[in-house]
Structure 1
């Protein structure tokens, strides 16, 4: 009996499995169902002997815009209580990271097809795939590194090296597909109109290889990353992610969102405007208007 999903769709054809993030009205923002369903869909592909390669894509205008945090960030203490339980937080975020990373741990190769945006948690999902193909005009980045986040998969440094990973995570900037390919973050960038063809060409090339050969090559390469401390780095990154949301600056950001709305808080963060050390007073509506 075929599985049914809430936040994604799953189909197979021509030795390929297609996982499509399917919340286009929210730019495929990550919800609890999506976190559960990505590993379930990957498992279905792994269990299917006819599937040789997995293509991950997004419906609508974007690949994935990150976690769907608008409601949570605006809730105040009901979402982020005064006393932080670091182990509860870690267990939740580690489960999310492990769910995304089934794309990396899968025995079948995975390809992310990125259009629109793959940002914040959406970049974690894309960079958990073995190969990423982007549209030239697509954007990728982790803006919450400015405040209220740390990329829990830690894949920026493993794909880019230290200096360019720092360039991205010390600024929270995004880059387009052409730059991502030039830097080696993704395997290829093509004009948006050619994205479908480019991904299909790559997937078909992989699909012609026996499954056991694909699994052995992938396991060997992944082991090199594990030897470089990938799993330990993810533990640290996941702990730091919780700390960023409960630091004085993180609480300032959440209070900003509760006062003025999540989108206003994100606009402030991503604009490069001052984020006060140790928190500080929340800007008034008049101050927000003056800044804009």
Structure 2
């Protein structure tokens, strides 16, 4: 089965679908490599003006593939040593950030951990009202690899996310600034496609300047440096006793390890 599906649902619109529904579209290194290659090919294709990223089945993505998918070869080289994984994730996100053409995340269902990092690397994020977006690894492992929360959501919402690991629904994601708009789940695909078609009316040579102007403003305020600095904190967090214990449980049994993390909160996979 192809882990990434590609189609062109409208003129000048390319759409990528994460296609591992049986694993909640867990992000293996193989899938990540195909996605980055596809996005970069679309960026070089003169017929494409905007891309959409979505997930097959019941969710966008529940995060990185802790069942072995991250042990596959990395899709691109990143300096080795302590913190390599976090640096690699952030460099991948900035590869999307630095594309000339706009990328839209279409989010439904679970959008957790690495899935949320992938969505935030996109230029626009549209969510289903009942989507569930969160970063549960803060409970027993570490802060995010890609620490976007304070930049997108502001101090207070970001701090609450970091200190609880709780998920927010689509409406809350819009309220705090994670997403642009929320739609009923049954309307999400049509609404996102309509927005993509509006964006595609603008020629790429103009649109890439529009996109870059917003990014440069954020970078002047320190976004790129702050997110890269966050990778060192993430690497340090992985040396704590709690993090080491959690990963030891995950190596023995992924499902039980994650359930042990969330059982006291009664959410995610432990919700009754």
- Map residues 10-159 of structure 1 onto 2, 5 A cutoff: 10-12=6-8, 13-71=10-68, 87-159=80-152
Distance across 2 between alignment mates of 1:71 and 1:219? 36
Aligned position for 2:254:
262
Alpha carbons 2:143, 2:237 under 8 Å: kept: yes
Tell me the distance in 2 between the aligned counterparts of 1:42 and 1:269.
34
SS in 2 for 1:11: strand
Aligned position for 1:283: none
**Which residue does the alignment assign to 2:243?**
250
Query: Structure 2 vs 1, CA of residues 72 and 133 (structure 1 numbering), >3 Å: closer, same or farther?
Result: closer
Q: Tell me whether 188-197 or 92-101 shows the greater mean CA deviation.
A: 92-101
TM-score by length of 2: 0.88
Residues 39 and 100 of structure 1 are in contact (CA less than 8 Å); yes or no, is this contact kept in structure 2?
A: no
Moved more, 98-107 or 211-220: 98-107
SS at match of 1:40: helix
Q: Does the 8 Å contact 2:28/2:69 carry over to 1?
A: no
Encode CA deviations 1:256-287: one digit per residue, 9 max, x unaligned: 3345x2222212222346xxxxxxxxxxxxxx
Structure 1 match to 2:268: none
Root-mean-square deviation (Å): 2.3
Q: 1:178 aligned to 149, 161, 171, which one?
A: 171
Three-state SS of the structure 2 residue aligned to 1:101 is helix
Tell me how far apart the structure 2 counterparts of residues 271 and 129 of structure 1 sit (CA, whole Å). Answer: 32
Give the corresponding residue for 2:269: none
Name the residue aligned to 1:7.
Answer: 3
The runs of 5 or more residues in structure 2 that have no matched partner are 72-78, 266-271
**Take 1:186 and 1:7, find their aligned partners in 2: how far apart are those partners?**
26
- 1:70–1:263 contact (8 Å) kept in structure 2: no
Paired positions, count: 259
Deviation readout 1:13-60 (Å, 9 max, x if unpaired): 410111111111111101111222222111111101111111000111
Contact preservation (8 Å) 2:250, 2:256: yes
Q: Distance in 2 between matches of 1:98 and 1:39?
A: 11
Residue of structure 1 equivalent to 2:74: none
Contact 1:8–1:34, Cα closer than 8 Å, also in 2: yes
- Write the distance in 2 (CA, Å) between the matches of 1:272 and 1:198: 38
Q: Which 5+ residue runs of structure 1 have no aligned equivalent?
A: 79-85, 274-291
